[in-house]
Amino acid sequence: MTMNERVDVLIVGGGPGGLACAADLAAGGVRVLLAERKAKIGAKVCAGGITWNGLIRLVPEALIEAAFPEQHIVTGRQRAVVAEANPIVATVNRERLGQWMAQRAAAAGADLRTGCRVLRVEGGRATLEDTAGRQTRITFDFLVGADGSNSLVRRSLGLPARAVGLGLNAMLPGRHARMEWHLRADLFGCGYGWVFPHAEEVSVGAYTAASGLSGRALRERLLAWAAAQGMRIDADTVRAGLVNFDYRGLRFDRTFLVGDAAGLASGLTGEGIHPALISGRTVARLILDPAAATAALDLLVRHQHRHRRLVALAGPHRRFCGLLMETLVVLLRLKILDFRALEMAR
């Protein structure tokens, strides 16, 4: 038997964007249901990097696994170290971050349901199914798609996602002293390899966009590059995640998109946590007050468009991309360019 429920807002997806939106809406007295298809909130293919301007100062210190005021940048021709007084990038465990945000949203009064898959959405109604196969028909006033790069809600709006990057990540046991960015256009096209230390593990991965590389080719290059760095990765432990940077808007009548579902990630770096938070909180404000200011989102969109234009310009041309990366590192070394200029949060 199908159960029937009514809520003010249905949020699909329990990532940072959906949880931030749910917490703010619930705190504003709105009846919110958040449906997360996974059994546990938080886990995602992600290097776990957060920036000083983006999130480092906003989360409890206990969630920070490692913080780095120095960033080591390597290309095929040069090396550079960028240093600041405050941590430039820190790492967090995505599952722990998600659980912390879920606790805040639940404490505000949001109804969070895990292991809850949205089968379809249409005309102010959605059908949800739990792990036991029980279905619930939800009637809502507003729908928020926070369900990632392969968003069901986005597809229900008929919006394609043509500008998509690919990230591969593996977690290796042990410690590493440096946070490293390897800008190797010959290997990763308009992307990079990374070494992001956590508390007792190291995230090693690669990201690329507009390079024409298949997932298999990128994985082979990641494994070979990591081995050259003295880090051997078991191919079976590599996890893949899409990064949608095809932004086409946030609001579509009574349906909203946030984070990767909206295509708000950076096509240049793959950064997605900060865009998810900004868009999630903006959507909550707009539902509570349609005339609310959107200055933070507007600034984010400008940065996102700039990153997307760079990818469109350099991505298909490996030599030009390599030249651009070498130039960027020279500018960083000469302190003409600030490392934070490459961030989405500024």
Q: What is the pLDDT of residues 62-88, one digit of tens each?
A: 999 999 999 999 999 999 999 999 899
Report d(CA 228, CA 169) in Å as an integer.
Answer: 17
Which residues, 6+ apart, have CB-to-CB distance to 304 below 8 Å? 245, 247, 264, 265, 266, 267, 275, 344
Q: What is the pTM of this model?
A: 0.95
Looking at the DSSP assignment, which residues form a beta bridge with residue 168?
Answer: 206, 240
Length of the chain: 346
User: Which class does domain 3-44+94-161+246-313 fall in?
Assistant: alpha beta
Report residue 24 as tokens: 């703010």
| Cα–Cα dist 247/160, whole Å | 10
How many whole angstroms separate alpha carbon 260 and alpha carbon 170?
21
Chain region(s) in the chain for CATH 3.50.50.60: 3-44+94-161+246-313
Contact (CB, 8 A) for 213 and 189 = yes
pLDDT tens for each residue of 111-144: 999 999 999 999 899 999 999 999 999 999 999 9
pLDDT of residue 343: 81
Distances (CA, A) of 126 to 23, 56, 150, 154: 21, 36, 18, 14
Parts of the chain belonging to CATH 3.30.9.10: 57-93+163-243+317-342
Q: Assess if CATH 3.30.1360.80 describes domain 57-93+163-243+317-342.
A: no
Tokens matching residue 42: 């938080």
Q: DSSP string of 206-222?
A: EEEESS---HHHHHHHH
**Which tens digit of pLDDT belongs to each residue from 178-228?**
999 999 999 999 899 999 999 999 999 999 997 788 999 999 999 999 999
Q: Residue 26 CB: number of other CB atoms within 10 A?
A: 24
Please give the share of the chain, as a percent, with pLDDT higher than 70. 99
What 3-state class would DSSP assign to 13?
A: coil
pLDDT tens digit sequence for 147-173: 999 999 999 999 999 999 999 999 999
User: Strand, coil or helix: what is 85?
Assistant: coil
Token readout for 136 is: 């619930």
Is the pLDDT at 346 greater than 70? The verdict is no
Residue 308 pLDDT greater than 80, yes or no: yes
Using the predicted structure, report yes or no on whether residue 1 has a pLDDT greater than 70: no
